[in-house]
Structure 1
């Protein structure tokens, strides 16, 4: 009598045990407004915040990314431009070539190109959008003011490429990816828990008690795992106090990106939906509209 065949088991993906990062990015970091990195570790449905780091220069942040040997990170900056915009401008329609072209432009040139594009369009439809903007509720990646995400792309993607990071959906998967960068958007997760309540402001005059209460509520909800990501944030008392006390919300935004990266770490294909536009990319954990 033959014995039953052993069950077929699949090994976890290579990224399943990578250390996690969440990055609140700035295209012009400074001592007052640095790039904030939340470092963490996932164990099942629990995500422990291991530390928060601040980088006051782009060069310093880029050096740190390249020197850190292994990570899976959620980065709060766009990784691609709207296909409609790219085709209209006659720019390269392949992502790597487009990023090479884009990195070669000055910010003034980018502003001039995008402003001319918008000026030729009707009121209410000035900007071109990526497919992920609607599901994520994000600003168009061509926007150069309030917030200047076009300049964040211009400053940030070259640092990721220089660090040898793999950007899933936009470039071929390497044999053994040890640095993996995902586009994250903290507003997506914050709105799920707070609705339209504001929890942050850079302007001191707008750093109100209501926003302080909103940060407390947001941190409580993350610790209790009350999101569709089904992850619980693990904090020390000092870390909780620091997140609530940061009226700019930068540290909390980095943690929100950390949780989005932790969610992707558990997913097949890092949670990217089928049919992602390889020029535009996708915001992790955004749900593709049916």
Structure 2
């Protein structure tokens, strides 16, 4: 069974998903950050594949993408860094990014590499659902890779139910229509959206992303979903920490209230 599915069967709530950009702050920090996140109590991890034009991301993640690319990070390099990670990493791992580098690498080749290194799922926000269902789902299924879909406050109920019917693992519930890192917290409008989706009684668990940065916002999100996703705030921790392991441990434990 896929590790993501296993996680939500084992732990239905307060799951913390942490995003970081591969190759940032330093090219070789990927495994180091993964180990520190696991030791600190993160529940699953999204590794961002840096891209030259990350239009859905705010300044913090854009700058981390730029720095990672300058450091020499690529899809090929990321797979090389992740080779053998399952000897020491048991957390569910997702790769997140834009679809173009995956298409350039070759979708089947990409999924095969994911399976070989132990990646459990992909989040490709700009991959059209219809295209995925018609062309790529058989390939993802062949290699046991989950494709995680996103919903926003603007997503129709019909579309949400279609996503729920064709999803495994979890649904990424974007809290607002803004870019990453631009929200200051959980607003009343967001709560109304969360409650509306809750009332739909979807089959899949949901994780809330965008605007989650500390224990207060994490706890608030967990009242409406199975957990939350932190990205920009964690990137800032990586930027500012003189001691990476201690900085990660302190931050993750503070978010989880430990």
TM exceeds 0.5?
Answer: no
- TM-score when scaled to structure 1? 0.30
Which protein, 1 or 2, shows the higher relative CO under an 8 Å CA cutoff with sep ≥ 6? Answer: 1
Which is richer in helix?
2
- TM-score when scaled to structure 2? 0.33
